[in-house]
Amino acid sequence: MNESSTPFKRHLRDFWIAFRRNKLGLLGGFLVLTAIILALFAPLLTPYQPTEVIRDEKGRGLTFAPPSVHGPLGTDDAGRDVWTQLIYGARISLTVGFMAGFIAMFVGSLFGILAGYFGGRVDNLLMRITDVLLVIPDLPLMLVLVATVRQMELNISPLVVLTAVIGLLYWTSTARLIRSQVLTIKERQFVDRARAIGAGHMHIIRKHILPQIMPLIVANTVLVLSIAILIESGLAFLGLGDPTKPSWGTMLNFAFDRSAITNGAWWFYLPPGLAIVWVSLGCVLLGNVLEEMLNPRLTGHHLEDGQSMIAVSGKRSE
């Protein structure tokens, strides 16, 4: 109970102390953080440009060179450096994934909070929209949407289209989760107390509902990020990415198109695949651990007595 520290700092410190003990959480954080660092410092980590063709002494393009010939990850069919493409691709994959994830989270939280808090007709309307989105198969829908937007020749970058489509389709599970949480919080007595004091809806949502579900939102965002990155990779693999700014999915698409697999050029298709696994695994680990730590229902209660009582009665009935 340090007098000088603010409550927020105290929270943060307690959180960090608890988080540090969790090995899986640390691993997840490490995976995500390394990917972000590689993406941020890409120009410092390679002498080449992603589109630059590597040439041998005779000036010919060094195609399909294995890592033993050209380090660290060899070259692709056009003689471009795979390592350079990988770390520059991280920028695209992570940007699209993160942006889409945040959009999904924002829309999902907004829908969930409004539906859960106001209930009745608002709830019905918002949840029916959610249901419709849930039952339409998302992959075909996204293909159609992306293709249509592209057809309209609006001069929007394909990456923006991709981000928007993923973000605006993947908020449904979040909305349901947040809604159910808000429904239980709404019934708690401190919300009644706020109403009895004379507080308005905005005040109650901001001061009483949001702080309770914020941890859930944070944990869920991290989980949605991994989904967004996977979806982006899938769509890019199907050729819906931006060929001039290749992400990991686009790299896989190239590798597949140019028969890297039949050529045995594993260094061309394995690194982007592993990178996708790396980041999404990191997100899932981190998200699960955060959820476990931050979910108010899963953390300890002040009534330790009551808990041990329940444990005891449980033991008895065995």
Partner 1 sequence: MTDALRPGSGQALLSARHLTTEFHLADKTVARALEDVSFDVLPGQTVGLVGESGCGKTTTLMSVMRLLPSNGRITAGNVYFNGNDLLALSERDMRAHRWKDMAIIFQGAMNALNPVLRIGDQIREAILLHDLMDRAAADRRVDELLELVGIPRGRRDQYPHQYSGGMRQRAMIAMALACSPDLLFADEPTTALDVMIQAQVLELLKEIQKKLGLAIVLVTHDLGVVAEMCDTVVVMYGGKVAEYGSAELVYNQPQHPYTQRLLESFPDLNRPPDSANRDLATIPGTPPRLNALPPGCRFSPRCHMSMDVCAQVTPGKVNVSTGSGVLHQVACHLLNEQEINK
Partner 2 sequence: MSAELILEVRNLYKHFPMRQSLLNMFRRRRQEVVRAVDGVSFEIKKGEVLALVGESGCGKTTIARTLIGLEKATGGEILFKGQGVGGDDDTSISLKKLRQRAQVVFQDPYESLNPRATIYDIVSEPLVVHDLIKDDQDRHERVKRALEEAGLRPADDYLLRYPHELSGGQRQRVVIAGAMVLDPELLLADEPVSMLDVSIRAEILNLLNALRRSRGVSILFITHDLGTVGYFADRLAVMYLGRIVEVGPTAEVLKNPQHPYTKALLSVVPAANPKQRRKMVILSGETPNPINLPSGCRFHPRCPVAMEACRATDPSLVELGKGHQAACLLAK
- Tell me which residues touch partner 1 (CB under 8 A): 305, 308-313, 315-317
Q: List the single partner that 315 binds among partner 2, partner 1, none, CB under 5 to 8 Å by kind.
A: partner 1
> In a 3-state reduction of DSSP, which class is residue 53?
strand
Q: Which stretch binds partner 2 (CB under 8 A): 76-84, 170-178, 184-192, 279-287?
A: 184-192
What does the angle CA 275 – CA 279 – CA 282 come to, to the nearest 5 degrees?
140
CA distances from 280 to 95, 297, 316 (A): 14, 26, 43
Closest CA to 31 of 229, 282, 219: 282
Q: Does 306 bind partner 2 (CB under 8 A)?
A: no
Of these partners, partner 1, partner 2, none, which one is at the site of residue 196 (CB under 5 to 8 Å by kind)? partner 2
Rounded Cα–Cα distance for residues 75 and 52 (Å): 11
197 sits near partner 2 (criterion: CB under 8 A)? yes
Per-residue DSSP letter, 54: P
Q: How far apart are CA 134 and CA 5, in angstroms?
A: 46
66/215 with CB nearer partner 2: 215
Cα dihedral 253, 256, 260, 266 sign: positive
Which sign, positive or negative, has the C-alpha torsion 263, 264, 265, 266? positive
95 burial (CB, 10 Å; 0-12 / 13-18 / 19+) is middle
Which of 20, 201 has the CB closer to partner 2? 201
Q: Which is nearer to partner 1, 33 or 303 (CB)?
A: 303
Binding-residue total with partner 2 (CB under 8 A) = 23
Question: Looking at beta carbons only, is 69 or 303 nearer to partner 2?
Answer: 303
Q: Is 20 in the site for partner 2 (CB under 8 A)?
A: no
User: Which of 139/311 has CB closer to partner 1?
Assistant: 311
200 contact choice in partner 1, partner 2, none (CB below 5 to 8 Å, kind-dependent): partner 2
Choose the stretch contacting partner 2; rule: CB under 8 A; options: 107-115, 152-160, 296-304, 309-317.
296-304
Residue among 182, 204, 205 nearest 195 (CA): 204
Q: Which listed range, 23-31, 74-82, 193-201, 274-282, lies at the site for partner 2 (CB under 8 A)?
A: 193-201
Q: Footprint of partner 2 on this chain (CB under 8 A)?
A: 1, 6-7, 188-190, 192-200, 203, 207-208, 211-212, 296, 302-303
